[in-house]
Amino acid sequence: MIVNENNYYTRLDKFLRKNFQNIPLSAIYKMIRKGKVYVNGKKVKNPSYNIEIGDSIEIKEDIANYNRDTNKSIKPIKMNLNIVYEDEDILIINKPAGISIHPGKGTHIATLIEGLIYYGNQNNFKPLLVHRLDKHTSGILIIAKNAPASRILSEIISSREMEKQYVTLVVGKTNKSGKIDLPLDEKDSLTIYNTKNIFKTDTGYFSLLNVEIKTGRKHQIRKHFALIKHPVVGDDVYGDRRLNREFKRQFGLKRYFLHCNKMSFFYKGKRIEAIADLPEDLTKVIKKLKEGV
């Protein structure tokens, strides 16, 4: 494959991820690591290798074995999208909690990408995800409407020039402000927080935080706060299941308390700011906490 303006991404791994979406991510990195990927006839084992327009990319492995064709397996489904911002290159939505981005294994439940594909078909574009939100995280999700926009947005995110803010409720009493710079998956990671409110309940103390992440590691906020002994409320993976059950019983929270409320960045010289108010299920929890203070 020849790198051109429409399929170009700066890094080799990003180029392969975006242009060979039928190949699982783990397989892409395995092929790079084993020397199966060649750039201009030379073996490249560095995933972050910088490529340029005009380069020739070759995978010396039978990729026909990967039959997960996203265009065939994912069917468009009409869905009510909460659109926060849209222009000719970018679509930004307020993602509800409880909906996955992509289909998983087993019984099929409608996923966000299917709704985005339907909307794209109606408006003559192919949606390209440039970042992710976990199934039970609500809030701002940015989608590129073409390959050049996807490349630019991916580079903005990678360069840490995108402001990403969240609201979360964690267990215990936190400091007025702080930063967590503990590595995750052996990669540098930085989370900054400010405490908005502290609630005292029969179950214990809980802190409502504004959080900004400077890196985009998987489950970064949930992992970081668990590591400093203030896990996100409702998070059964990294937190306290017993406490979460009791909190659910008292306050009706049916997921972990995490919402992306703001993302802002400059795109082609224009500042774009997307804001998503706290959803009703989380505002009800805060109201009950305040009533119990």
* Single residue among 127, 158, 189 that ends a domain in this structure: 158
Write down the residue that tokens 């590591």 correspond to.
227
**pLDDT tens, 170-191?**
999 999 999 999 999 888 999 9
| Amino acid 265: pLDDT | 96
Residue 252 one-letter amino acid: G
- Cα separation, 182 vs 169, whole angstroms: 20
Are 80 and 191 in the same domain?
no
| Amino acid 68: pLDDT | 47
Angle at 78 between CA 77 and CA 84, to 5 degrees: 115
Residue 119 one-letter amino acid: Y
* Domain around 108: 70-158
* Single residue among 158, 184, 201 that ends a domain in this structure: 158
Are 181 and 254 in the same domain?
yes
Are 203 and 270 in the same domain?
yes
Say what percent of the chain tops pLDDT 90. Answer: 63
**pLDDT tens, 27-48?**
889 889 989 899 998 999 998 8
**pLDDT tens, 258-284?**
999 999 999 999 999 999 999 999 999
| Residue 216 main-chain phi, psi, to 5 deg | -125, 55
Write down the residue that tokens 């993602």 correspond to.
95
Residue 188 annotated among the catalytic residues of the structure: no
Which tokens hold the place of 138? 């609500």
* Single residue among 143, 158, 173 that ends a domain in this structure: 158
Catalytic residue among 69, 134, 188, 277, which? 134
Which tokens hold the place of 229? 């002994």
